[in-house]
Chains A and B, each alone.
Chain A
Amino acid sequence: ETGVTQSPTHLIKTRGQQVTLRCSSQSGHNTVSWYQQALGQGPQFIFQYYREEENGRGNFPPRFSGLQFPNYSSELNVNALELDDSALYLCASSWGGSYNSPLHFGNGTRLTVT
C-alpha cells in the first residue's frame, strides 16, 4: 500500500510570488483534502477535492486554488503569496468524498515566505 506523498518537502518563496504544491493520494483513495498548519496551531481546512471537483472549502481566499487529476493526485496553488502564508501544508487522502472518512496524511510541505 502506497501512502500519501507530498512534494517538495521545503520551499522558500518571496512575497507576491506564486507556488504549487503537489500531493499523491494513497492507493485506493479518491478524495484529497488540503490543510494549512501554522506553528502551534491545529490543521486548518483549505478545501477538499473529489472526482476532480472542489467538494467543500474552508475560510481561505480565492488565491488558494486547487486541482485534482484523473489519477486522484492533487495540486494546491497559492497566488500573490503573503508573509502569513508561511506554514506547513498538509495533504490528506480518503475515500468517497465524505467528511466522515478517516484521513491519511502526508508529511507536509514547509513553505516559508520572505
Chain B
Amino acid sequence: AQRVTQPEKLLSVFKGAPVELKCNYSYSGSPELFWYVQYSRQRLQLLLRHISRESIKGFTADLNKGETSFHLKKPFAQEEDSAMYYCARNYKLSFGAGTTVTVRA
C-alpha cells in the first residue's frame, strides 16, 4: 500500500526555535508531495507543494527521493504556527496521520 508516514503526533517548540516536521512516503513512480495545515477552527488548507519550490509563511520543504522524505522546516517558529500539519502525496491523495505543533511563548 502507498503510505505517508508522519512519525511525530505531537511537537512542542519555543517561539523563535527551529521546527522540523518529518514526513516519509513509500516510493512509487513520480511522487508529488504536499503539506496541508489546519489552524484552530479553520478548514484544512494547502501550505505548500514540492513542485512550487517556494517558501510559504517561512516554511520550506525539500523532496529527497533517495530518503523518500519531504520534511517541513521553519528556522524560527512563531505562535501563529501552532496548528495541525498533514503531509500528503499524489497517489490516491494519501495523507499522513498528522502532527500537532504547539509553539510556546
A42-B98, A45-B94, A99-B91 are known contacts. Are A106 and B86 too (CB-CB below 8 A)? Answer: no
Point out the residues of chain B lying under 8 angstroms from A99, CB to CB.
32, 90-93
Point out the residues of chain A lying under 8 angstroms from B92, CB to CB.
45, 56, 58, 99
User: Is A33 part of the contact surface with B, judged by Cβ < 8 Å?
Assistant: yes
Contact between A100 and B94, CB atoms less than 8 A apart: no
Q: How far is the CA of A4 from the CA of B44 in the complex (A)?
A: 11
Interface size on A, residues (CB 8 A): 23
Number of A-B contacts defined by CB within 8 Å: 49
Contact between B94 and A105, CB atoms less than 8 A apart: no
User: Is B13 part of the contact surface with A, judged by Cβ < 8 Å?
Assistant: no
| Majority DSSP secondary structure for residues of B touching A | mixed
- Most chain A beta carbons < 10 A, residue from B49, B51, B92, B97: B92
Contact between B32 and A43, CB atoms less than 8 A apart: no
- Quick one: CB contact mask for B1-33 with A, threshold 8 Å, 1 for yes? 000101000000000000000000000000010
Interface residue ranges of A91-114 to B (CB < 8 Å): 92, 99-100, 102-108
Contact between A106 and B90, CB atoms less than 8 A apart: no
Return the chain A residue nearest B51 by Cβ: A100
Return the chain B residue nearest A47 by Cβ: B92
Contact between B97 and A103, CB atoms less than 8 A apart: no
By a beta-carbon cutoff of 8 Å, the part of chain B in contact with chain A is 4, 6, 32, 34, 36, 43-46, 49, 51, 86, 90-98
By a beta-carbon cutoff of 8 Å, the part of chain A in contact with chain B is 4, 33, 35, 40-45, 48, 56, 58, 90, 92, 99-100, 102-108
